[in-house]
Structure formats: structure tokens, C-alpha cells
Amino acid sequence: MSSVEISAEPQPLSSANARNLIDSVEAFLFDCDGVIWKGDKLIDGVADTLEMLRSKGKRLVFVTNNSSKSRKQYAKKFHSLGISVSEDEIFSSSFAAAMFLKVNNFSPEKKVYVIGESGIIEELELAGFTGVGGPEDAKKTADLYLDCSIEHDKSVGAVVVGLDRHINYYKLQYATFCLRENPGCLFIATNRDATGHLNASQEVPGAGCMVGAMCASSEKEPIVVGKPSTFMMDFLLKKFEFGCSKMCMVGDRLDTDILFGQSTGCKTLLVFSGVTTQSNLQDPSNHIQPDFYTSKMSDLLELLGP
């Protein structure tokens, strides 16, 4: 059941192929928003499904583009929802941003300006970098009406942009100055998701919204470290003794989760518990086809039977 044997047409998950999938895969990679939870609400059957997979000796990892939390904060969230997950099973785009700087030998003498939330700042600090902006600039305003310009720090060598529910003009202005005026300043996007389910009922603007704003004002394109970029896969490959063909990416977004899985040679399972519907999948304008699709993650458990 390697990728060449799978037909191009996505298959609905069935008892037979669910069993095959579980037998042939050693690690399941799960997106979180829209797969594990919506906002602070666990999606039905998730806990039992994860338990079943663990009982079969499967390795589990959680690969999330949501940069609002650090790995530590995500582990806490899992625990609060009654699921035991360790920090090193979590690969968040906040962690990826810090790791990108690390593997590219970014100087710890330089600062990192953040449009984003505390997750990014925490991961930067854990990696030995100094993150500025983010939550501390949530209330700042440049009083442009009084011709009051702002000063920006010339030692900022990178701007990291992620989801920021306290986005404001000051942050956009500060980051624009860094990218336009600090020579060689890196522009890193945690991800470019258009929207996400940050709460249970609504699809709200995602990091792509903030990244789109910064692309426009800086007239630059970012390096993306979250899905569908394959940057995080290097860390997963170091973690496991097997390759991507033994992994299955489970996600709710075609343009991030499924594309990430396909680009890295994983098997892919699309679930409809998040932002994508079956009619989105089957729309002629969609060219990203998963290996399998099903309504929600716990179908894996139900289809296996008792």
C-alpha cells in the first residue's frame, strides 16, 4: 500500500481500507484545529481513537499550524481535555519558527519582532532567542494623527508573523519598518491558513490574514515554516526510525494538511470535521486529493469494529 499503489481518486474510509491503513502505518500525524478539537471543545470520539491507536503501538504526533501556543501550552491543553500527550509529540508552527532560526544559525545577538501571540515568544525564548513585540505591543498605538512617527530597533534581524488576535496598526507599522529598512531582515510566516476554527462555531481569520497584510506593506514574500512547507518533516524523520511512507497525515485542510502529507510522501486522510466539506473536496477547482476521506477521526475506531 505504498503511494504508487493508491489510485488518484480519493477513497472513502471503509472497514477494509481503515484496517489496511492502520496495519501499514507506524505513525499518525494529526492536525489539531478541526481534527482533535474546535476551540476548547474536543471533537467526538477523539480520546478513544487516540487510545486505540496507542494500544496498537502507533506513534502519534500533533502537527499544528496554530502558533498561538507553545508546545508546553499545547501539552497543557491536551491534559485539560483529558488526553495525555507529551511536549515532544507536539510540532507547532511556533516551535517551527524558532527551529528555523536555530538551524539557519540566526545570531542570538539579534532580535526577532513578532506579530503573533505568546506561543511564538515562548518558543523563541526556549531556543535562546529574544522575541519582541507580540502580546507586549497589543495596546500600543502610533499617533499618526499627530505626525508622531515610531522608532524601530535596527537590531531586529527577523520578523515572525503568525495568528494575532490583537493585531493593530502599530505592529503592522513596526514590522513593515523592520522588513523594509533593516538589511537582510528575515520574513518568516508560521503558516498562511486563510481561516481556522478557533472556536466551536465559526471559521475565523487565520495567520494568512496577518501574513497577507505584511506581504502587501513590505512588498516581500515570507519563508513559510508550517504546513504545507515540509520544514517540520526533518524533525519528524529525526524522531522516528522509519520514513514518511510509514506515516499518515490526518487533517481538515487540503491546502495545508493534505498538501504537506503529499509533499513529504505520507499517506493522507482528510476529515470533514473542520473547514473542508465533501463538496469542497469534489469541487472541480480543487486539485489536491487525499488518499482517503471520512467525516471525523473517530471513524477509524468505528470502522475497525469491536
Cell numbers representing residue 44 in the block: 467526538
217 scored as a contact of a second copy (CB under 8 A): yes
Report the distance separating Cα 303 and Cα 306, nearest Å: 9
Report the distance separating Cα 22 and Cα 190, nearest Å: 30
Question: Which residues are CB-neighbours of 253 under 8 A, at least 6 positions away?
Answer: 31, 34, 193, 227, 274, 275, 276
Report the distance separating Cα 257 and Cα 223, nearest Å: 17
> Where does this chain touch a second copy (CB under 8 A) — which range of 56-64, 154-162, 202-210, 285-293?
202-210
Q: Are 193 and 206 in contact (CB under 8 A)?
A: yes
220 is in an annotated binding site: no
Burial of 86 (0-12, 13-18, 19+ CB in 10 A): exposed
Cell numbers representing residue 135 in the block: 502580546
Provide the Cα torsion 274, 276, 278, 284; round to 10°: -170
Question: Which residues are CB-neighbours of 301 under 8 A, at least 6 positions away?
Answer: 45, 48, 49, 52
Q: Which of 3, 168, 230, 263 binds a second copy (CB under 8 A)?
A: 168
Q: Which of 164, 252, 291, 299 binds a second copy (CB under 8 A)?
A: 164
Return the number of the residue (87 or 255) whose C-beta is nearest a second copy.
255
Return the number of the residue (91 or 177) whose C-beta is nearest a second copy.
177
How many amino acids of this chain bind a second copy (CB under 8 A)? 45
252 is in an annotated binding site: yes
31 is in an annotated binding site: yes
Return the number of the residue (31 or 117) whose C-beta is nearest a second copy.
117
> Where does this chain touch a second copy (CB under 8 A) — which range of 54-62, 88-96, 195-203, 279-287?
195-203
Whether 44 is catalytic: no
Q: How far is the CB of 184 from a second copy (least distance, A)?
A: 19
172 scored as a contact of a second copy (CB under 8 A): yes
Site for a second copy in 29-58 (CB under 8 A): 39-41
Q: Which of 144, 155, 221, 277 binds a second copy (CB under 8 A)?
A: 144
Site for a second copy in 79-138 (CB under 8 A): none
Q: Which of 104, 107, 155, 202 binds a second copy (CB under 8 A)?
A: 202
Burial 39-63 (b: 16+ CB within 10 A, else e): eeeebebbbebbebbeeeeebebbb
Query: Which position among 23, 31, 153, 257 bears the catalytic label?
Result: 31
| Maximum Cα–Cα distance across the chain | 70
Whether 257 is catalytic: no
167 scored as a contact of a second copy (CB under 8 A): yes
Q: Which positions touch a second copy (CB under 8 A)?
A: 39-41, 142, 144-145, 147-150, 164-169, 172-173, 176-177, 180, 192, 194-195, 198-206, 208-219
Which of the residues are catalytic?
31, 33
Going by the annotation, the residues of the binding site for substrate are 227
